[in-house]
């Protein structure tokens, strides 16, 4: 018998969502023999209290580490990808050791251990573009419960960044005016040793991708084959290019430059650069770097 915590975030985004899926999933878990505790968290501290139930036994080095046996399992009822990201971000903060205390059993090329798997319960049963849909995860509460009880985990890559946060799906940098037209901007964009733009080009958009949520921009394909488990970050920039015919007539086409690697950085030349990261809006005012943590997080998948 397992203990299962069904965690719902109450941050305004989910305030109007029906709780029927949460109750249905809890009932299915109970019918399957689990001891279920449904919790609504209103702060990071309350999320952390829930996550502490996933801790393993004390270690000789004093690090807080997840329980490898998974005696307690977690289900996150999420209305948005940003809510799911909020929980994963707290998992990273809980279990990432400081660089000075890096243990020998930490996987190579990683700064975090294998994070505990998460059962994802989408609160929008008809969603088609969110991360659970991209991953092909169950949306029916009973099917989510069955996957959690079955315990089969699918490990996925995680993007960490030097701003202290994480990205599960991707980030789209750029903005549009009131008429929906892309506003041009400049930034230096690097992927490992490759420079996609040195900061002199006018850009329409830039995507930093782990999965395919931002695979296109205004109907323009940006990404070729985003795979959230291939160990690399995929980056693309879109920029207008003026071409002239033999008669001297000007025509503007959009050029897309792409690269894949272990890490990427964006250094804006603008005072503020709007962006969406897992659907959460923000503004970039300085250099931001992302790097991939292969297989760092996981979901229960049937």
Q: Is 186 exposed, middle or buried (0-12, 13-18, 19+ CB in 10 A)?
A: middle
Going by C-alpha positions, the residue among 99, 113, 205, 194 that lies closest to residue 158 is 113
Is the predicted pLDDT of residue 136 greater than 80, yes or no? yes
Expressed as residue numbers, the domain containing 185 is 170-293
Would you place residue 181 in the very low, low, confident or very high pLDDT band (cuts 50, 70, 90)? Answer: confident
Q: Tell me, what's the pLDDT at 18? A: 56
- Distance separating alpha carbons of residues 175 and 193, to the nearest angstrom: 27
* Angstrom distance (rounded) from CA 90 to CA 41: 12
- 143 inside domain: yes
- The span from the CA of 271 to the CA of 76, in Å, is 37
**For residue 243, what pLDDT is reported?**
67
Domain boundary among 94, 121, 151: 151
Instruction: Verify that 63 and 199 share a domain, yes or no.
Output: no
Structure tokens at 253: 């086409």
Q: Which residues, other chains included, contact 298 with Cβ-Cβ below 8 Å and sequence gap of 6+?
A: 114, 115, 116, 117, 118, 153, 154, 155, 156
The number of residues making up the chain comes to 302
What are phi and psi for residue 28, nearest 5 degrees? -65, -40
> Is 109 in the same domain as 227?
no
Same domain, 102 and 25: yes
Name the token pair of 6.
């069904």
One domain for residues 12 and 140: yes
> Does the residue 164 lie in any domain?
no
Residue partners of 60: CB distance under 8 A and separation at least 6: none
What is the C-alpha to C-alpha distance for residues 158 and 233, in angstroms, rounded to an integer?
9
pLDDT band at 264 (very low <50, low <70, confident <90, very high): very high
Judgement on whether residues 137 and 232 belong to the same structural domain of the protein: no
For 87-124, what is each residue's pLDDT tens digit? Answer: 999 999 999 999 999 999 999 889 999 999 999 999 98
The percent of residues above 90 in pLDDT, for the chain, comes to: 81
For residue 14, give every residue at least 6 positions away whose Cβ sits within 8 Å of its Cβ, in sequence order, or none: 8, 77, 78, 79, 80, 83, 123
The reply to whether 299 falls in a domain is no
- Say if residue 207 is in the same domain as residue 288: yes
* 15 confidence band (pLDDT: 50, 70, 90): very low
Give, in degrees to the nearest 5, the angle at Cα 193 between 223 and 254.
Answer: 35
36 and 85 belong to one structural domain:
yes
- Give dist(CA 287, CA 266) in Å, integer: 6
Q: Roughly what angle, to the nearest 10 degrees, separates helices 44-51 and 81-95? A: 60
Q: Is the confidence at residue 190, as pLDDT, over 70?
A: yes
User: Can you count the helices (H) and strands (E) in the chain?
Assistant: 5, 18
Query: Residue 61 in 3-state DSSP?
Result: coil
State the pLDDT at residue 16: 46
80 and 107 inside one domain: yes
CATH number for the domain including 50?
A: 3.40.50.10330
CA 151 to chain CA centroid, nearest Å? 22
Model confidence at 187, pLDDT cuts 50, 70, 90, reads very high
Total structural domains within the chain:
2
pLDDT, tens only, 226-255:
899 999 999 999 999 876 666 667 677 899
Tell me: pLDDT of 13 over 60.
Answer: no
Same domain (yes/no): 139, 188: no
**How far apart are alpha carbons 121 and 108 in whole angstroms?**
31
Indicate if 146 and 176 belong to the same structural domain: no
What is the distance between the alpha carbons of residues 89 and 281, in angstroms, rounded to a whole number? 16
Domain shared by 231 and 270, yes or no = yes
For residue 214, report the phi and psi dihedrals to the nearest 5 degrees.
-120, 40
Asked if residue 157 is part of any domain, the answer here is no
* Distance (Å, whole) CA 7 – CA 78: 9
State the CATH number of the domain containing residue 243. Answer: 2.60.200.40
Whole-structure pTM value: 0.92
Examine the domain organization and report whether 176 and 140 are in the same domain: no
Does residue 195 lie within any of the structural domains? yes
């Amino acid at each position: 018998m397992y203990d299962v915590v069904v965690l719902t975030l109450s941050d305004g985004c989910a305030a109007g969502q029906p709780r029927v899926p949460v109750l249905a999933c809890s009932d299915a878990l109970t019918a399957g023999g689990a001891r279920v505790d449904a919790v609504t968290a209103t702060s990071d501290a309350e999320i952390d209290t829930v996550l502490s139930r996933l801790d393993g036994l004390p270690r000789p080095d004093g690090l807080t580490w997840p329980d490898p046996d998974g005696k307690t399992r977690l289900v996150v009822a999420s209305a948005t990808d940003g809510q799911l990201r909020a929980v994963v971000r707290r998992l990273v903060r809980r279990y990432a050791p400081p660089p000075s205390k890096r243990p020998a059993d930490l996987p190579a090329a990683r700064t975090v251990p294998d994070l505990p798997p998460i059962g994802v319960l989408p609160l929008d049963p008809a969603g088609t573009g969110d991360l659970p849909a991209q991953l092909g995860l169950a949306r029916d509460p009973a099917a989510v419960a069955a996957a959690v009880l079955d315990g089969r985990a699918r490990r996925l890559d995680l993007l960490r960044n030097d701003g202290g946060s994480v990205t599960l799906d991707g980030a789209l940098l750029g903005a549009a005016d009131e008429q929906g037209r892309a506003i041009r901007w400049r930034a230096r964009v690097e992927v490992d040793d490759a420079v996609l733009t040195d900061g002199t080009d006018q850009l329409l958009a830039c995507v930093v991708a782990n999965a395919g949520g931002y695979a296109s921009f205004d109907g323009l394909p940006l990404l070729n084959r985003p795979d959230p488990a291939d160990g690399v970050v995929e980056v693309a920039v879109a920029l207008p290019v003026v071409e002239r015919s033999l008669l001297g007539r000007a025509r503007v086409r959009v050029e897309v430059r792409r690269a894949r690697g272990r890490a990427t950085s964006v250094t804006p030349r603008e005072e503020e650069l709007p962006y969406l990261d897992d659907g959460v809006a923000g503004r970039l005012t300085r250099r931001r770097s992302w790097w991939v943590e292969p297989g760092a997080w996981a979901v229960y998948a049937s």
